């Protein structure tokens, strides 16, 4: 393990292990079969890559996609690792060169497809080599219960016989207990050590919204991440084409991606995205499995995914660098039926049963009102530590619950009963809202006691409530036409023995994620970070590789935090190994020095001398401040002099979010009724007028009302003064 630690530092620039990496690497070193389940971004690739450099011989890695193999090998070569791949996209000469390198024992890691590995001639050739291990990446593809089952992976069960005495290791980011058991059985793992990390991704902020205007809802998310990478998933190819065209027409740098496009068009879109020539890729689920782009800051599902495994995998493509990212799911009542149709058309009878069960689970998640992180963890058999995740719409208070949910639920369930459980959700909503539709009148359902019981609400809202009751197990769908049936829980609701949760329509959360990974920006000069991004893009273009292969966003942030003025200091940056220091060190250090000198920034900052404690988070995600806060006292003095927020941020060395909290506390303690100089008087008057109509409890609604004329911070400052009596509504 000491040699492993040295390898990690030399090639990858890491000084410690992530959870379960040490245990997984020990299995590889000791030749014990293993199954390793780590979340996306948890560093599972290092679990076999690092031991491969320490063990004698060649490590063979099985991977399902050419694009995934190419990115992994490109990254390894850039780290100074002797790695190569064999796949059908290479020319015969390129393949011969790789085979020759294997024969000369020049390689440490070889990536291949399952078909290639099990070719008789190739397997025989590999048996003549000295193999250190065989790693099966994306191992969930082995199982029919896995979310991305691939029949060609089934033949990997022959690996045990083809390479006797060689340890076999399986790795995946997504696997329920059922899938894990199936992987062990299919791959014939011998007494494997099973290591399962937490499925929780605390840096991801999850939210779910009913889809009303997909274009505008997607734009709201993208506008919060201008200039940053985002993925938008759609269910159907036609939706991809339409949405990508509309986004491009609105000025977004977006491109479509789906299996119906020509190969060269898909490749251009994918390459442009990973090289940061475009910000947004709009895609079906055909996109992403082979993409290792670490700095995706937002993933939007414009339609409900096929399963929670798919959602965990697809949303998990955000924030792979461990930094904050946003995941928004937009769903409509028709999504369930669309997926049912697709499943019926494309799956075998055995697979359909599995897929239908998974579809019910993800539908319940989308329609539910429980903590999103908790819901995902529960699906994978784990529990969330603590009461609140502080990283979803439920725990951040963005959802409002209906006060009389029991009464509304009883009316809905009673209507299903009066309709003799023979109709679907849309028809039931029509009856409850008093529709004069010919079908309702023709069936004489306007004479039912439940007809028009919810006539004060829109049909769409009632339809939403029906979906929420299905999601909570009060109602269920059955049969080809998804007829609503009452469950045992539904009968308890009718008797008043149990109260479900129903949601009020609520404005989406438009502020930047709070308290999730705020410390990842602590001490980072954002101007320098942007400068380094441009330099990274230039190197990536010259080498024809994705930008994140040069350096991750996390590495750039650490550079902009430490601001080293020498190569020695540059090597201390997290993510900078010897190979990268040799290739890029001079250019990046020169850029850092030039930027710091031109702006009088301190260089060679040691973050360990300025520890930033991990904030204790409350339900609303705001940090609990220490009893004595010298930075706060300094900020108060500068507020007394009327200094701007930006100046105070620079002076006290705290994140802008923290300094805003100082200002809000300052306004409260001083009982100030005017927000000047931090908010102009004319803007303050507009906020006060909007607050008169909308109230003070939902600043997001005020922000939306003013349509971009004011920032969220300025709204908060104004509200603080209104509460003190300034132009009080």
- pLDDT tens for 534-574 read 888 888 888 887 777 888 888 898 999 999 999 989 988 98
pLDDT at position 520, please?
64
The answer, yes or no, to whether residue 140 has pLDDT greater than 60, is: yes
HSE-CB of 550 using CA atoms within 13 angstroms: 26
Structure confidence at residue 608 (pLDDT) = 67
- 76-80, 359-363, 646-650: range with lowest mean pLDDT: 646-650
Q: Residue 517 — very low, low, confident or very high, per pLDDT cuts 50/70/90?
A: very low
Among 66-70, 99-103, 600-604, name the most confident range.
99-103
Residue 236 CA to residue 360 CA, distance in Å, equals 20
State pLDDT tens for residues 367-387: 777 789 988 888 888 888 777
Provide the pLDDT for residue 511: 40
| Size of the chain in residues | 729
In the prediction, which pLDDT does 316 show? 87
Res 618: pLDDT: 33
What is the rounded CA–CA span in Å between residue 150 and residue 478? Answer: 29
Contact status, residue 454 vs residue 432, Cβ threshold 8 Å: yes
C-alpha distance from residue 205 to each of 201, 401, 468, 562 (Å): 9, 20, 21, 27
Please say whether the beta carbons of 502 and 241 come within 8 A: no
Higher pLDDT, 120 or 95: 95
Is pLDDT of 509 > 50?
Answer: no
Confidence grade of residue 494 (pLDDT, cut at 50, 70, 90): very high
Is the sign of the CA dihedral 636, 639, 645, 647 positive or negative?
Answer: negative
For range 116-129, the mean pLDDT = 87
The whole-number pLDDT of residue 512 equals 40
Do 44 and 195 contact (CB within 8 A), yes or no?
no
pLDDT tens-digit map of 664-722:
888 888 888 888 999 988 889 888 888 887 777 666 667 777 776 788 778 888 888 88
Judged on CB neighbours under 10 Å (0-12, 13-18, 19+), 664 is middle
CA distance 515 to 50: 33
Average the pLDDT over each of 41-50, 135-144, 283-292 and give the range with the smallest value. 283-292
Q: What's the whole-number mean pLDDT along residues 51-58?
A: 94
Per-residue pLDDT, averaged over 67-78, amounts to: 86
Contact 270, 67 (CB under 8 A): yes
Q: What is the average per-residue pLDDT within 249-276? A: 88
Determine what percent of the chain is predicted with pLDDT higher than 90.
Answer: 33
Q: How many CA atoms lie less than 13 Å away from 688 in the CB half-sphere?
A: 19
Task: Please give the DSSP secondary-structure letter assigned to residue 322.
Answer: S
Residue 486 vs residues 46, 358, 473, 492: alpha-carbon distances, Å:
49, 20, 9, 10
pLDDT of 489: 92
Cα–Cα distance, 411 to 453 (Å, whole number)? 7
Instruction: Check residue 619 and give its pLDDT.
Output: 29
Strands, E, within 370-487: which ranges?
400-401, 475-478, 483-486
Do 572 and 562 form a contact (C-beta atoms < 8 A)?
Answer: yes
**Buried-state track 447-458, b at ≥16 Cβ within 10 A, e below 16:** ebebbebbeebe
What's residue 625's pLDDT? 30
DSSP letter for each residue of 85-142: EE-TTS-HHHHHHHHHHHHTT--SEEEE-HHHHT-HHHHHHHHTS-EEEEEESSGGGG
Do the Cβ atoms of 327 and 205 come closer than 8 Å? yes
Residues in CB range of 627: below 8 A, 6 or more apart = none
What pLDDT is attached to residue 697? 62
Q: Give the count of beta carbons closer than 10 Å to the beta carbon of residue 94.
A: 14
pLDDT confidence of residue 347? 67
pLDDT greater than 90 at residue 481? no
- d(CA 383, CA 376) in angstroms, rounded, equals 9
Q: Using CA atoms, how far apart are residues 592 and 405, in angstroms rounded to an integer? A: 57
Lowest mean pLDDT among 258-267, 563-572, 650-659: 650-659
pLDDT of residue 6 exceeding 50, the answer is yes
Q: Does pLDDT of 612 surpass 70? A: no
Of the candidates 392, 5, 424, the one whose C-alpha atom is nearest the C-alpha of residue 208 is: 392
- Given pLDDT bands bounded at 50, 70 and 90, which one contains residue 225? confident
pLDDT of residue 483: 93
| Greatest extent of the chain over all pairs of C-alpha atoms, in Å | 85
For residues 41 and 557, give the distance between their C-alpha atoms in angstroms, rounded to a whole number: 17
**Band of residue 508 on the pLDDT scale cut at 50, 70, 90:** very low
Q: What local confidence, expressed as pLDDT, does residue 453 receive? A: 92
Structural contact between residues 372 and 475, judged by C-beta atoms closer than 8 angstroms: no
Closest Cα to residue 123, out of 65, 62, 169?
A: 62
Q: How do residues 416-472 score in pLDDT, each as one tens digit?
A: 999 999 999 989 999 999 999 999 999 999 999 999 999 988 888 898 889 888 877
Cross-strand pairs, 283? 233, 257
Q: Phi, psi at residue 321, to the nearest 5°?
A: -85, 0
Pick 394 or 217 by higher pLDDT: 217
What does the pLDDT read at residue 148? 67
132 or 579, higher pLDDT: 132
pLDDT confidence of residue 282: 94
* Burial track 147-157 (b if 16+ CB lie within 10 A, e otherwise): bbbeeebbebe
Q: Mean pLDDT for the chain?
A: 84
Name all domains of the chain by residue range, CATH numbers in brackets.
Answer: 2-196 (3.40.50.300), 204-379 (3.40.50.300), 400-504 (1.10.10.10), 524-604 (1.10.150.80), 630-723 (no CATH)
What percentage of the chain reaches a pLDDT higher than 70? 91
Whether residue 131 contacts residue 57, with contact meaning beta carbons closer than 8 Å, is answered with: yes
**pLDDT value at residue 613:** 44
Q: Are 400 and 504 in contact (CB under 8 A)?
A: yes
Kindly tell me if the per-residue pLDDT of 523 is higher than 50: yes
Q: Which residues are within 8 A (CB) of 535 and not within 5 positions of it... i.e. 6 or more apart?
A: 587, 588, 591
Could you report the per-residue pLDDT of 334-372, keeping only the tens digit for each?
888 888 888 888 766 767 888 888 888 888 888 777 789
Say what the pLDDT of residue 101 is. 93
Structure-model confidence comparison of residues 547 and 25, the more confident one: 25
For 274, the 3-state DSSP assignment is helix
> Prior bond to 452 cis, omega within 30?
no
């Amino acid at each position: 393990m000491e040699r492993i630690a040295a390898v990690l530092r030399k090639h990858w620039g890491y000084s410690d292990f992530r959870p379960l990496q040490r245990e997984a690497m020990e299995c590889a070193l000791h030749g014990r079969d293993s199954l390793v389940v780590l979340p996306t971004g948890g560093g599972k690739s290092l679990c076999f890559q690092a031991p491969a450099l320490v063990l004698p011989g060649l490590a063979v890695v099985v991977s399902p996609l050419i694009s995934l193999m190419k990115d992994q090998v490109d990254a390894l070569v850039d780290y100074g690792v002797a790695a190569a791949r064999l796949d059908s996209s290479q020319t015969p000469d390129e393949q011969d060169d790789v085979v020759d390198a294997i024969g000369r024992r020049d390689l440490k890691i070889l990536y291949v497809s399952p078909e290639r590995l099990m070719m008789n001639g190739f397997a025989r050739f590999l048996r003549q080599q000295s193999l250190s291990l065989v790693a099966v990446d994306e191992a969930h593809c082995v199982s029919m219960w896995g979310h991305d089952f691939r029949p060609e992976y089934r033949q990997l069960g022959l690996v045990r016989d083809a390479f006797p005495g060689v340890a076999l290791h399986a790795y995946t980011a997504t696997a329920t207990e059922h899938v894990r058991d199936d992987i062990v059985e299919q791959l014939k793992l011998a007494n494997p050590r099973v290591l399962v990390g937490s499925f929780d991704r605390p840096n991801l902020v999850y939210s779910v919204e009913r889809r009303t205007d997909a274009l505008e809802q997607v734009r709201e998310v993208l506008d919060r991440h201008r200039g940053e990478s985002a993925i938008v998933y759609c269910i159907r190819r036609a939706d991809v084409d339409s949405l990508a065209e509309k986004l491009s027409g609105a000025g977004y740098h977006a491109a479509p991606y789906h299996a119906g496009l020509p190969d060269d068009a898909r490749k251009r879109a994918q390459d442009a995205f990973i090289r940061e020539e475009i910000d947004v890729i709009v895609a079906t689920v055909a996109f992403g499995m082979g993409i290792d782009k670490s700095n995706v800051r937002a993933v939007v599902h414009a339609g409900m995914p096929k399963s929670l495994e798919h959602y965990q995998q697809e949303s998990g493509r955000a924030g792979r660098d461990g930094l904050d990212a946003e995941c928004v799911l937009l769903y409509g009542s028709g999504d369930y039926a669309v997926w049912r149709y697709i499943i019926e058309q494309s799956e075998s009878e055995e697979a359909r049963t599995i897929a239908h069960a998974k579809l019910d689970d993800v539908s319940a998640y989308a329609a539910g009102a429980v903590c999103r992180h908790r819901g995902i963890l529960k699906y994978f058999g784990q529990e969330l530590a603590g009461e609140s995740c502080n990283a979803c719409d439920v725990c951040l208070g963005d959802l409002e619950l209906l006060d009389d949910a029991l009464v509304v639920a009883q009316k809905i369930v009673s209507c299903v009963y009066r309709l003799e459980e023979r109709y679907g959700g849309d028809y039931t909503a029509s009856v409850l809202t008093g529709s004069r539709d010919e079908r309702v009148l023709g069936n004489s359902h306007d004479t039912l006691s439940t007809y028009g019981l919810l006539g004060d609400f829109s049909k769409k809202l009632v339809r939403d409530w029906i979906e929420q009751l299905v999601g909570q197990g009060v109602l269920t769908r059955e049969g080809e036409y998804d007829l609503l049936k009452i469950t045992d829980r539904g009968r308890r609701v009718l008797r008043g023995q149990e109260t479900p949760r129903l949601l009020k329509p609520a404005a989406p959360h438009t502020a930047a994620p709070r308290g999730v990974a705020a410390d990842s920006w602590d001490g980072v000069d954002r101007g320098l970070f942007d400068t380094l991004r441009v330099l990274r893009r230039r190197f990536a273009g010259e080498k024809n590789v994705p930008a994140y292969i040069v350096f991750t966003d996390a590495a750039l942030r650490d550079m902009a935090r430490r601001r080293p003025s020498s190569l020695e200091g540059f090597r201390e940056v997290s993510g900078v190994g010897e190979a990268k220091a040799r290739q890029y060190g001079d250019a990046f250090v020169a850029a850092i020095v030039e930027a710091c000198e031109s702006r009088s920034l301190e260089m060679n900052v040691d973050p360990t001398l300025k520890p930033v404690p991990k904030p204790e988070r409350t339900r609303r995600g705001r940090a609990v401040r220490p009893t004595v806060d010298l930075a706060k006292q300094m900020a108060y003095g500068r507020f007394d002099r009327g200094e701007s927020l930006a100046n105070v941020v620079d002076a006290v060395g705290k994140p802008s979010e923290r300094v805003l909290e100082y200002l809000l506390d300052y306004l409260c303690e001083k009982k100030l009724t005017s927000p000047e100089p931090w908010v102009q008087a004319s803007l303050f008057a507009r906020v006060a007028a909007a607050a008169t109509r909308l109230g003070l409890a939902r600043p997001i609604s005020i922000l939306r009302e003013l349509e971009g004329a004011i920032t969220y911070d300025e709204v908060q400052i104004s509200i603080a003064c209104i509460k003190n009596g300034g132009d009080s509504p």
